[in-house]
Structure 1
Amino acid sequence: MTMTTLVFCVLALQTMMGGFDNLWHHELHARLPQRASARYELRLHSMREAIYGVLYFAFAWIQLQGWWAVLVAALLMIEMVITVADFLEEDKSRKLPPFERALHTVLTVSYGLLIGLLAPMLWAAAQMPTELVFTYHGFWSWFCTLASVGVLTWSARNAIAVWHMGKAVEPEAAHSTPQVIGASTVLVTGGTGFVGSALVRQLQREGRRVIVLSRDPLQARASFGHSVWVTERLNDIPSETRIDAIVHLAGANILGGPWTKSRRQTLLQSRLNITRDLMALIERLERKPEVLIAASAVGYYGTVHGNARIDESAASDPGRFQSDLCAAIEREAQRAEPLGTRVVCVRPGIVLGADGGALPPQAFAARLGLGAIIGSGEQAMPWIHLDDLVGLICHAMSEPVLHGPLNAVAPGIASQAAFARTLASVHRMPVWMKMPAGVLRTLLGEMSELLLDGQNVVPAKAMASGYRFRHSSLRKALEATASAERSEVAPA
């Protein structure tokens, strides 16, 4: 193996590990492009990816000599400085999981090996007359070209995200409402999640004092600023603290994988353990919270009701995991009632929002013309826009008449087929695909019920208590999220 081939092999290893790190950790888990607090980190990523894009293309087709070789060495040194700054920013802004830290260590070692191999080659090239000489390395030229296009595209996407974050921060800073001294205090679990972050920002706009329970306090503080009290443990909250309301949203994502035995245990314990900790907190607080709002789901009703209209008085479906999970959450939350705290169990349908939840992957498929009717398509698909879910939670905090279950769904119920067609038409695409029910049941097991067996849920209590939905029309709700998506990714 020649020295040049060895350099390309190490470069390819660095490329694949870096691409995996970007996709798995930055995109899927940390969701950096959707987090305003990640603006500086994304800027560093964009700069580093731009450097890689230029170097990949140069290595693919050009032999760099003289001062051009010195320029390459300078770019490699700049990349090292950017990477060190990125490591420092990550330690400041978010809590890295062990696997990501281990991968970064391997990437650092691999980069050091790459520099060690390139250094004598660049030194020799620097002694030659300054010129650019066309060269061809067969497979490696095309591999590096593909890598160059990929990282430059990623660099541009991150740069656009940073630019939009800057535009979004300016009006928010200009019109933010200072927190009112003596205003009600709300404790939010799961405050950095899709729904939780939107709720915390709304509470901040209302001038409320907010406490966020988070496993990643660095991310929470970076996201919400120093006006939010971030804690990793409920035990760290003193008993004399005044907490007027608790909103419990924490829990593992129910769509994170098939419902294996271990997965079911994770879903259950991730919710119940924190709920029990909340009960312990309420018991020792000198002044009990006025209300506890716990997130359940329309899955409480299971599949036993068919297409009958379901209000909050309908029974659960024992023996169905989705129903048993919701019933266990609500049963644990109801323990706060004897302590003097009003309990509301919010049961959301599919939450529509541009920044997370189940809609973005469906919208992406629809834009590609890959929207599909699932099973018969006649199953009801209860939904609610993120704005209305946040609005209903705030409404439940301030309405003493609300107790027990609260269906958090829009009044405009739709079938799955109608939902798929409306989503596709919003993106000016047809729906021509059908997904047989048998395929989903084979692939997903009981989890396929979330897609194949809908619940025709109505927001009876919300309407009776006077809540007015901002998005009661499915088409308008989907158009609003599509507009928000476009404003996030397209230059103005």
Structure 2
Amino acid sequence: MTTTTTMTTLIFCVLGFQTMLGGFDNLWHHELHARLPQRTSARYELRLHAMREAIYGALYLAFAWVQIQGWWAIAVGVLLLVEMVVTIADFLEEDRSRKLPPFERALHTVLTVSYGLLLGLLGPRLWDAARLPTELAFTYHGFWSWFCTLASVGVTTWSIRNAIAVWKMGRIAETEAAPPAPQVIGASTVLVTGGTGFVGSALVRQMQHEGRRVIVLSRDPLQARASFGSDVWVIERLTDIPAETRIDAIVHLAGANILGGPWTQSRRNKLLQSRLRITRDLLALIARLDRKPEVLVAASAVGYYGTVHGSARIDESAASDPGRFQSDLCVAIEREVQLAERFGTRVVCVRPGVVLGADGGALPPQVLATRLGFGAIIGSGRQPMPWVHLDDLVGLIRHAMSEPVLHGALNAVAPGMVSQATFARTLATVHHRPLWMKMPAGALRLMLGEMSELLLDGQRVAPTKALASGYHFQHPALRGALEAAV
């Protein structure tokens, strides 16, 4: 093997390493964890990503099939330098707009070192090629030509997707830029925990539109400030709130995602402690405030009822199911939250079903599976599937804040109860796809253990208190809710 061939192979190996690591970073951090395409505040970062991916798309194709010489070699060198400038701008934007986890920072460091090595290897080759006559000649590198072609198609597709997301976000930003309702003297102040989450962000924006003063507790204050602007007071610790601060209502939504993984013992502890810790901090805050909040609305879930009720209709007076983790978790949360009543604060525990919305929650993965033809009836399909549209969940939280008659449990589910099979068929119909797959209950129980109960059992929950207290659902029927959500 000649020295030139060895060097070419080394360059492709470094490029392949950079490709695989960069693809993992995009999928794991940008898509799954930070959910950048769903965050309007991330549009500048996504714009940089789209530019960088477009550059890589062109470079991969050139490296795969073209012997670059003369001015073409200089053009490739310029693209590599532009990519470096875009990456630096991306690092600065990430530091401005969100709090990166340690693993993502470490991965970026490795990618930077790898890119520096790639430039060090390519630089002398491009310099020599730049002094040759300008021409484009076909070349073939075997496996690496096809690897780079595949990488070019993938990264170019990602670039186009990000560019479309940026365009859509710009349209949304123009809509949101409309002047909000003016702040009114004496307007209520609302503290929201979990304010940058799927439900929390929708609630905070609604509060802003109504002219309320909003305080957001967030583990990522950079993301919260970028999302909501300067008129929202973002805090990292509840101890940052002075005792003389007026807080009229608290909405407690924070807690680890219950669908984040199998319910191992360590995960059960995490799910419980992530909720109880913040709840206890809220109780400590209420205790030291000079003026106590009028109401505390906390998120629980229909999992409170467990599986003991079968197909019976369930209202807010129904009992829990001791020994079931989903029920015990909700009982522990509600018991802790209700301690706020000793301070004279009215407490409402909102119990939502599956929340339907385009930008998060359980619906987007189901929509993707359905569009790809992998929608499925789970188990028998006869199990009830309580659901609520995001607009109505936000509406019910606001209703619980403003309606003094409400206290204790509040079922946040739509009145149009359906079975899982009906849900799957309706979703397939909305997206004009067939529904032919069935997921055996045994396979799910084997894979997910007790967590499979969320999919296989269900609860026939009714919004009894919501309807009795005068709440009018915006999306009472499933088909209309799904069409609105997608």
Q: Give TM class, smaller chain.
A: over 0.9
Give how far 1:171 is off.
Answer: 2.3
- Counterpart in 2 of 1:200? 204
Aligned to 1:58: 62
Structure 2 residue 142 is matched with structure 1 residue 138? yes
Structure 1 residue 138 displacement after superposition: 0.6
The match for 2:365 is 361
Residue 38 in 1 paired to residue 30 in 2? no
* 2:293 aligned counterpart, secondary structure: coil
- Distance (Å, rounded) in 2 between the aligned partners of 1:447 and 1:165: 35
Q: Distance in 2 between matches of 1:49 and 1:181?
A: 49
Q: Any idea what SS the aligned residue of 2:370 has?
A: helix
Of 392, 396, 402, the residue aligned with 1:392 is 396
Residue from 421, 427, 452 that aligns with 2:425: 421
TM superposition outliers: structure 1 runs of 4+ over 2 Å: 174-182
Aligned 8 A contact 2:181 2:209 in 1:
yes
**Counterpart selection for 2:324 from 307, 311, 320:** 320
Aligned positions of 1:88-487 closer than 5 A:
88-482=92-486
Deviation per residue, 1:398-425 (Å, 9 max, x gap): 0000000000000000001111111111
Contact 2:180 2:210 in 1 (8 A): no
Question: Can you list the C-alpha shifts for 1:363-407, whole angstroms capped at 9, x where unaligned?
Answer: 111111211111111110000000000000001100000000000
For residues 314 and 402 of structure 2, the distance between their equivalents in structure 1, rounded to whole angstroms, comes to 25
SS of alignment partner, residue 212 of structure 1:
strand
Provide the C-alpha distance between the structure 1 equivalents of 2:339 and 2:347, rounded to a whole number of angstroms.
9
CA deviation string 1:51-110 (max 9, x = no partner): 000000000000110111011111111111110000000000000000000000000000
* Structure 2 equivalent of residue 487 of structure 1: none
Deviations 1:420-459 (A, max 9, x none): 1111111111211111111111110000000001100000
- Aligned match of 1:17 in 3, 7, 21? 21
Runs of 5+ consecutive residues of structure 2 not aligned to the other structure: none
CA distance in 1, matches of 2:303, 2:160: 40
- TM-score normalised by the chain length of structure 2: 0.98
Deviations 1:159-205 (A, max 9, x none): 11111111111122124323334310000000000000000000000
Distance 1:174 1:270 in 2: 36
C-alpha separation in 2, matches of 1:301 and 1:186: 29
Q: Which amino acid aligns with 1:149?
A: V
- Among the aligned pairs, what percent are the same residue? 82
Amino acid in the other structure paired with 1:219:
Q
What is the CA–CA distance in structure 1 between the aligned matches of 2:197 and 2:230, rounded to whole Å? 18
Contact 2:180 2:211 (8 Å CA) reproduced: no
**In structure 1, C-alpha distance between the alignment counterparts of 2:349 and 2:178, rounded to whole Å:** 36
Query: Structure 1, residues 261-304: CA drift from partner, whole Å, max 9, x if none?
Result: 00000000010000000000000000000000010000000000
Q: 1:459-488 CA distances to partner (integer Å, 9 max, x unpaired)?
A: 000000000000000011011112xxxxxx
- How far apart, CA to CA, are the structure 2 residues paired with 1:437 and 1:252? 26
Q: Give 3-state SS (helix, strand or coil) of 2:276's partner.
A: helix
Alpha-carbon distance in 1 for matches of 2:141, 2:179: 56
CA distance in 2, matches of 1:370, 1:323: 30
Between the aligned partners of 1:308 and 1:377, the Cα distance in structure 2 is 16
Counterpart residue number, 1:2: 6
Structure 2 residue matching 1:2: 3-state secondary structure: helix
Q: Which moved more, 1:301-310 or 1:164-173?
A: 164-173
**One-letter code aligned to 1:334:** Q
Distance in 1 of aligned mates of 2:329 and 2:91: 39
Superposed CA offset, 1:305-344 (max 9, x none): 0000000000000000000000000000000001110000
What CA RMSD, in Å, does the superposition of the two structures yield over aligned residues?
A: 0.7
Q: Structure 1 length normalisation: TM-score?
A: 0.97
1:68 aligns with 2:60: no
